[in-house]
Amino acid sequence: MPSLRIRSVETVIVDLPTIRPHKFKSTTIDHQSYVLSRVRTEDGLEGIGEASTPGGPWWGGESVEAIKSVVDTYLAPTLLGHPAARIEAALERMDTVAAGNRAAKACLEMALFDIWGQALGVPVHDLLGGLYRESIPVTWALGAEEADGVSAEAEDKLLSEGHVSFKLKMGAQDPRADCDRVLAVAKALGDRASVRVDLNAAWDEMTATRWLPELEDGGIDLIEQPIPGWNIEGMGRLADRLRTPLMVDESLQSVHDALRVCRHNAGDVFSLKVPKLGGLTRTRKTAAVAEAAGIPCHGGTSIESSIGTAAAAHVYGATANVSFGSELFGPKLLADDVSTQPLTYSDGHLRVPREPGLGVRVDERKLSTYRRR
């Protein structure tokens, strides 16, 4: 096996258009931005990685501009000369020079896995224990727009693409109007699909205590992070009051957070995301903590392109405890991509790539079109 010592790291910001606006509690996007990393070894191999934040730094604090700066200035220099296959040691090196910055570290770790897989001629999931599932069910995410438009989109995805679960964003309206909106969508879909909601920590605990029972009584099947991430004790109290599963997201941004959530019984489902957890390795470790506590995991998204989605599919597909489906709809929300070939979606599922490494490569022409200058 070649030494795989890292010779160079290049990063670029890419802005890709979406097929429609996507509304969160505090912003609306008509494009999604990414940092792409290209890590090259002395042996001539190139690995690609991606970091994404959903609509900017409002969610986790990192922005693509900051991610690129941290990678270029601090993380990349510490990895030069390091063997790409020594993943844990690479993470330790990056932790030494930069606290936090999880998406930035994930961007590079992803590229290292891509190199390692290519060198061995195996897909990344084989480096993670092998496939547990060959395809992953995909929940289609809907924005915080009005009920009529959201219902129409859900109907289309249900009938034309086989999606049978939908997640609506909340938090952009008054709680009464917001609940009426999502319950109207749930009523329109009836028992043909599962309807879930994500508040992105928009409410305080008192508001959540008042309104979450109405969502539960209206047939909502899953409630994601209604209150701020710091309030793990409050999440525990809400979980105790509800029959509907409560999913943790903003409260779960590290392996250490996973242990705290378990200790406080602060959620029924873990939302995993490769960027927020700092890479594939730490995503697997977080899932292991959940498994030890008997908590299933959901394969979350930061609206990745085909590159980041492929990486997430490898780790979700190789992890038995990711048993609550996924939300890997990112490439289908984009109007264009920077990969040479699309990922395979069928009947509401995503097929895990089988090719060596991540199984996706960069389309140089499209990269030239969409890179930020």
Q: What is the DSSP string of 226-289?
A: -S-TT-HHHHHHHHHH-SS-EEESTT-SSHHHHHHHHHTT--SEEEE-HHHHTSHHHHHHHHHH
- Using CA atoms, how far residue 194 sits from 143, 170, 186, 242, in Å, is 16, 16, 8, 17
- Active-site annotation holder among 157, 273, 327, 332: 327
Strand partners, 223: 197, 246
330-351 pLDDT, tens per residue? 999 999 999 999 999 999 999 9
d(CA 58, CA 23): 13
Place 214 in a pLDDT band, splitting at 50, 70 and 90.
Answer: very high
Average pLDDT over residues 271-283: 98
> Six-digit token pair at 316?
């979700």
80 pLDDT more than 90: yes
How far apart, in whole angstroms, are the C-alpha atoms of residue 254 and residue 276?
Answer: 8
pLDDT bucket at 284, cuts 50 / 70 / 90: very high
* Predicted pLDDT of residue 143: 84
pLDDT confidence of residue 98: 98
Residue 37 · residue 136 · CB < 8 Å = no
Whether 332 is a known active-site residue: answer no
Q: What band does 213 get if pLDDT is binned at 50, 70 and 90?
A: very high
Residue 307 has pLDDT above 90, yes or no: yes
Q: CA-to-CA distance for 188 and 299, rounded, in angstroms? A: 26
Position 145 scores a pLDDT of 83
pLDDT, position 2:
82
pLDDT at 197 over 90: yes
* Per-residue model confidence (pLDDT) at position 348: 97
Longest alpha-carbon distance in the chain: 61
> Which pLDDT score is estimated for 274?
98
pLDDT surpasses 80 at 1 = no
Does residue 272 contact residue 253 with C-beta atoms inside 8 Å? no
Positive/negative CA dihedral, 202, 235, 258, 125: negative
User: Contact at 8 Å (CB) between 329 and 301?
Assistant: yes
Proportion of the chain above pLDDT 90, given as a percent: 95
Average pLDDT over every residue of 110-136: 98
Give the pLDDT of residue 195.
97
pTM of the model: 0.96
Q: Convert the pLDDT of each residue in 156-196 to its tens digit.
A: 999 999 999 999 999 999 999 999 999 999 999 999 999 99
Sheet hosting strand 222-224, strand order edge to edge: 140-142, 165-169, 194-198, 222-224, 246-248, 269-272, 297-299
Measured N-to-C along each axis, helices 280-292 and 306-317 cross at an angle, to the nearest 10 degrees, of: 40
Q: Quick one: which of 224, 174, 234 has its CA closest to 194?
A: 224
- pLDDT, averaged across the chain: 97
pLDDT of 55: 87
Decide if pLDDT at 299 tops 90: yes
pLDDT number for residue 179: 97
Domains in the chain and their CATH numbers? Answer: 5-121+363-370 (3.30.390.10), 127-351 (3.20.20.120)
Query: 119 vs 42, 88, 111, 122, 354, CA distance in Å?
Result: 12, 18, 12, 8, 15
Distance CA 123, CA 114 (A): 8
Query: Is the pLDDT confidence value at 26 over 90?
Result: no
- pLDDT value at position 146? 87
Predicted pLDDT of residue 63: 97
Q: pLDDT confidence of 95, banded at 50, 70, 90? A: very high
Please compute the mean of the pLDDT values over residues 231-256 and round it to a whole number. 98
Active-site residue among 68, 157, 167, 169? 169
Q: Annotated catalytic, 327?
A: yes
pLDDT at residue 211, rounded to an integer: 98
Instruction: State the Cα–Cα distance between residues 274 and 281, nearest whole angstrom.
Output: 9
pLDDT at 243: 96
pLDDT tens figures, 62-72: 999 999 999 99
